Amino acid sequence: MSIILDGKKVSDVIEKTLRRKIKKLSGKLKLSIILVGENSASLKYVEKKQEKCHEIGIKCDVVKLNPDVSEEALLFKIKELNLSKSTTGILIQLPLPSHIKARKVLDFIDVKKDVDGLSSYYLMKILFNDEEIIPATPKGIISLLDEYKIGLRGKNVCVVGFSDIVGKPLVMMCLNRGATVSVAHVLTRDLKLHTSNADIIMTATGTPGLIKKNMIKEGAVVVDVGISKLGGRIVGDVDFENAKSRCSYITPVPGGVGPMTVISLIENLILLSKQIK
């Protein structure tokens, strides 16, 4: 019988601790989100982050920019927020339109306000095993595993998907914790060969049903970062209904990694507020 890695429950527990910290900071925290364009998934994510902030007593502004905004205008907006005394953390909702260089934009955020930890500076620190501000999704995944006392040291981990936002930092964080890591992606020829050796599978591709029951080792832990719409339902990368009986632990979608990502963002905001003082 598999145990559900309940991201909703764990994030609620973390939230309780954070509420106390936030109270002490007496309304001094403010998250500024920049949203370029009207991608419906992005709108949804931004809404969730804003809701959680308000729920928990943190100010949250959303700056909406047109999809055809120039890179220069976007950088100017970031500069304003970098200098703003009221903004604690700046988040650029990804993806950005293709005419904008995401790397340049992310590195333009003052690292003291980089709440998403996606600047080269923080990613480099992760690469050198000197973790400081960690991107919210990988941070949430590790917190979730920690809560269920699932260690990484000496484990075989297969990370599927190698994006700058999730896969890359996740791979490095697993290596930092002593895991043997296999990195699979869209060019991997025999995905099953890699997943079926893994004690822990972490998948972040956005391809519904990619990870099937027969690709999972008996008793493995499965973490599903994928979020896709399929027939009106929100589903992950894993064929959850069939696969779950084979796993020792598995995250549901929704209610697994999602809530952990949001709460990890709030944790980062509090960390940043301490740096500013």
Binding residues for its own copies (CB under 8 A): 103, 120, 123-124, 127-128, 153-154, 156, 162, 164, 168, 171, 175, 178-185, 187-189, 193-194, 197
- Shortest reach from residue 145's CB to its own copies, in Å: 17
- Given 6, 30, 49, 217, the catalytic residue: 49
Catalytic position from the list 6, 114, 116, 239: 116
Q: With respect to its own copies, which residue has the nearer C-beta, 49 or 125?
A: 125
Give residues with Cβ within 8 angstroms of 132, minimum separation 6.
117, 122, 125
Residue tagged active-site, from 93, 168, 217, 224: 93
With CA atoms as reference, report the closest residue to 238 among 218, 217, 216, 260: 216
Please say if 155 is a catalytic residue. no
Say what angle helices 120-127 and 167-176 make with each other, to 10 degrees.
30
For its own copies, give the closer residue by CB, 52 or 194: 194
- φ and ψ of 158, to 5 deg: -110, 115
Place of tokens 């697993």: 174
Does the active-site annotation cover 49? yes
Both structure tokens of 165: 């936002």
Contact in structure between 12 and 264 (CB atoms under 8 Å) = no
For the question of residue 93 being annotated catalytic, the response is yes
Q: Which is nearer to its own copies, 190 or 241 (CB)?
A: 190
Shortest distance (Å) from residue 152 CB to its own copies = 10
Instruction: Supply the residues annotated as catalytic.
Output: 49, 93, 116
